[in-house]
Amino acid sequence: MDSKSIRTSFIKFFEDKQHQYVPSSPLVVKDDPTLMFINAGMNQFKDLFLGNKEADFTRAANSQKCLRVSGKHNDLEEVGLDTYHHTMFEMLGNWSFGDYFKKEAIAWAWELLVDVFKLPKNRLYATVFGGDKEDGLEADQEAYDFWEPIIGKDRIIYGSKKDNFWEMGDTGPCGPCSEIHIDLRSEAEIKQKPGHELVNMDHPQVVEIWNLVFMQFNRLSSGELVNLPAKHVDTGMGFERLTMAIQGKPSTYETDIFTPLIDFIADKAGTKYGENEENDIAIRVIVDHIRAISFAIADGQLPSNNKAGYVIRRILRRAVRYGYTFLDFNEPFLFQLLPLLAGQFGEIYPEIASQQAFISKVIQEEELSFLRTLENGLKKLDQIKRDLRGKEPVIDGKTVFELYDTYGFPVDLTSLIARENGLSVDEEGFTKEMQQQKDRSKKAAAQEATDWIVLSEDEATNFIGYEQLESTAQIIKYREV
């Protein structure tokens, strides 16, 4: 089954069970100070769960674009190194707003995975909440009792509060959850170690695919839990992971969601995916990050120097560095993936295709600007590495700041390269330098005239010009040593 049909079958399965299809909300959050990007399917329904809003349906199904690169859910560091976490991914979900509860949610999840998608029963595991003494919470016996006759007690695993109890925040709706995991290892490996020992252990082939959350409590500001007047179901299944399971692939990157992008990049680099681990990591980073960057731009978040915009810029620079270092890409390359993305997502998320030219231009400009200083920054890092030989393997804050300010290296990029070389960075020292810079520019603010920023004298950079993107009126300031 190809990935497009998998997505469609999921939606259709729940539509047939009277669920209303609700389109994905944009990735970029503009009206919530606690959240930069949508990180779960439930975000757009928050007001329904809190009782601030009512919908004209009590059952919904959707496929939500998610980005987990900041805040509570930040998977960025894993991406590329592992084979099942992405920055941007799609979360398939079915929802009950005060309608059905555990029984149906569990039975339908099983029916879909086993009867429709034909996943092998003897490879699936279910986790249920095992209780928490401190909170005075009992184990979720109810969920256990619905699972037991369909999956068997050997395949049910009790989980901790960390993995099996969901809370929106310090207060508000919350409840136990039950997750479905799949063991995709070979028979021989399974003989050596049973799958239930590997659930929740970050094994690349024994992975969580679906989380069923049962909202039944409300946590008050006193910390006390009371029953909610209406109970809700909130489920989230990673589309890429489901596709990997159905297509019987060892990683999400080997599904048809990623192979066209991987083939393009590997071909361009004159290599093959799967031949060299370092190259493979770089390829995974690139094909993952281009999706995050493109969708964020399509939904209105341009790369920039602060907040959400800087998160996107950091992701882009991470991808450019991987391409440059491991695949010898020294010209813009990310933007060339846009036609493939537009073709792939045209039907479900038309915003990529409709803004293709604009997205492509923004990315190309960003790539160009970073590539201008990347080589010098990497040389500088080599020098630092040599200078630290025989000394404490820590790059001091001042140097990290110089890399940031002069070469455009976000601190997490410097950390990443440092780690690759057995070094660490003094983040505290960097933060101090950053603060001093902010204080300086506050002082210099008096010199600023409208849109044109006058660089203060104590900034040790040579100003080389402005460039304006026609379509955004955003002014980009390039600096070079």
CB of 39 to ligand ATP, least distance (A): 8
| Cβ contact 232:166 at 8 Å | no
Task: Indicate which single residue of 7, 19, 185, 241 sits in contact with ligand ATP (rule: CB under 6 A).
Answer: 241
Q: How many CB atoms lie within 10 A of CB 26?
A: 19
Which of residues 85 and 380 has its CB atom nearest to ligand ATP in the complex? Answer: 85
* H-run or E-run covering 419: helix 411-420
Taking CB under 5 A as the rule, does residue 211 contact Mg ion?
A: yes
Q: Which CB atom, from 79 or from 297, has the smaller least distance to Mg ion?
A: 79
Structure tokens at 129: 């909440």
* 292 belongs to the binding site for ligand ATP (CB under 6 A): no
Q: Which of 140, 234, 240, 299 binds ligand ATP (CB under 6 A)?
A: 240
CB nearer to Mg ion: give 58 or 211: 211
Please check whether residue 79 is in contact with residue 86, taking contact to mean a CB–CB distance below 8 angstroms. Answer: yes
237 binds, among Mg ion, ligand ATP, none (CB under 5 to 8 A by kind): ligand ATP
Query: Could you tell me the two tokens for 158?
Result: 């009790």
State how far the alpha carbon of 14 is from the alpha carbons of 5, 10, 57, 105, 176, in Å.
Answer: 14, 7, 13, 11, 22
Token match 């520019």: residue? 441
3-state secondary structure of 223: coil
Query: Quick one: angle between helices 397-407 and 427-444, nearest 10?
Result: 50
Residue 167 as a binder of ligand ATP (CB under 6 A): the answer is no
β-pair type (59-67, 88-97): antiparallel
Please report whether residue 321 would count as binding ligand ATP according to CB under 6 A: no
Which residues are CB-contacts of 387 (< 8 A; sequence separation ≥ 6)?
none
Out of 59, 65, 68, 289, which residue is the one contacting ligand ATP (CB under 6 A)? 68
Q: Report the SS3 class of residue 311.
A: helix
Q: Which is nearer to ligand ATP, 72 or 191 (CB)?
A: 72
Q: Does 288 bind ligand ATP (CB under 6 A)?
A: no
* Nearest distance, CB of residue 184 and Mg ion, angstroms: 16
Query: Site map for ligand ATP, 211-230, x if CB under 6 A?
Result: x-------------------
Residue type at 375 in one-letter notation: E
Per-residue contact flags (x/-) with ligand ATP for residues 97 to 116, judged by CB under 6 A: --------------------
Among 8, 75, 247, 368, binds ligand ATP (CB under 6 A): 75
Interface with ligand ATP includes 237 (CB under 6 A)? yes
Q: Helix or strand or coil: residue 73?
A: strand
Residues at the site binding ligand ATP, with contacts judged by CB under 6 A = 40, 68, 75, 85-86, 89, 91, 208-211, 236-238, 240-241
